[in-house]
A = this chain, B = another copy of it.
């Protein structure tokens, strides 16, 4: 089957999370991703997270559709082999600190000489130039520096991170988007180019009205926890056996909500006629809503409100999500055979193409599993003899 990136060869010098997520996204779309690993253990994520049958499921989840090649890039021979690989590759992805790849002998000039068609993607904390370019980066620090943390948390409490390392994943996704765009340019012009994705820049692009309102007014958003800063009612409300999340985003949806719970008359109540008044009387309003909702169960309210056109759900934990009928219908939990390690469950494909869909063509590789195979493809001796004697 032809996938969007079938025939695209990606040399993957990344490790940990942001870079491997990017190359996984490319691999899911059909690219041949060659993961270069070195040292005693390869990518440190092989030893991170929970392991089953001697396999890290964290590693397995983010390295599907890749082949692994063991190659010491600090050695002259390793560099020679990498150079040979880059000559026939389409994409190079790296998440070193800025300058490290150049120090290894692969600056932009050399890369352009080796292969002018090469797309070179860098994923960094802060970008490849500028006053912070040399700083090491880590998700928690970028959540802090980007402003994301400052907006999160209940009123009157300190800023709070999100537990998922969201800045890594956003940067990896933007890098993948940039790479496919650069490939499209190259398909027409024959010229590769640089793609730079930064964790901080990516995260800053995700704030919607929080940044635009700040830029327009100079007023900082206040932390409001699960209450919306400028809309009421909004948040978690109590039913007879659990909370529901309700967010009527327009007056039309609010009227539907209040009608369904028997409070339609509040739209004419002088205390609640406008959003500003509802914000002011929020406590009173929320209490009235909670009282109405106590007449039925969480499951029933979720069904009744959604049927009536009011967005409604509940706070699910990760276990509920992984068993959620919608997630299963959407094949968001995959069960993949990993030879020697049994079946591995992992999250599925977040974007679905009907004609040339994402697929797991092969599971995450053992460290160095494909070294000999890739050496053969390069026309090198399987025993890894130096290029000069193999050529």
Contacts and interface: CB of A to CB of B under 8 A. Distances in A.
A353 interface: yes
Interface in A52-96: 52, 56-58, 60-62
B131 A182 contact: no
A216 B58 CA distance: 9
A119 to B, nearest CB: 9
A310 interface: yes
A312 B134 CA distance: 12
B315 A25 contact: no
Given A147-B316, A147-B321, A163-B223, A58 B351 contact: no
Interface in A141-155: 141-154
A88 B208 CA distance: 32
A165 interface: yes
Contacts of A147: 316-318, 320-321
A388 to B, nearest CB: 34
Interface residues of A, number: 154
A195 B149 CA distance: 32
Interface string A153-178: 11001111111111011100111111
Interface string A89-130: 000000000000000000000000000000000000111011
B58 A326 contact: no
B355 A193 contact: yes
A208 B29 CA distance: 19
B318 A197 contact: no
A56 B217 CA distance: 11
* Central interface residue in A52, A145, A154, A191, by most chain B CB within 10 Å: A145
Contacts of A200: 326-327
10 contacts: A4-B185, A132-B306, A135-B306, A141-B311, A150-B317, A168-B208, A169-B206, A194-B353, A204-B327, A205-B349
User: Which 7 pairs between the two chains have the least Cβ-Cβ distance?
Assistant: A193-B355, A130-B329, A4-B181, A151-B163, A50-B216, A194-B354, A138-B311
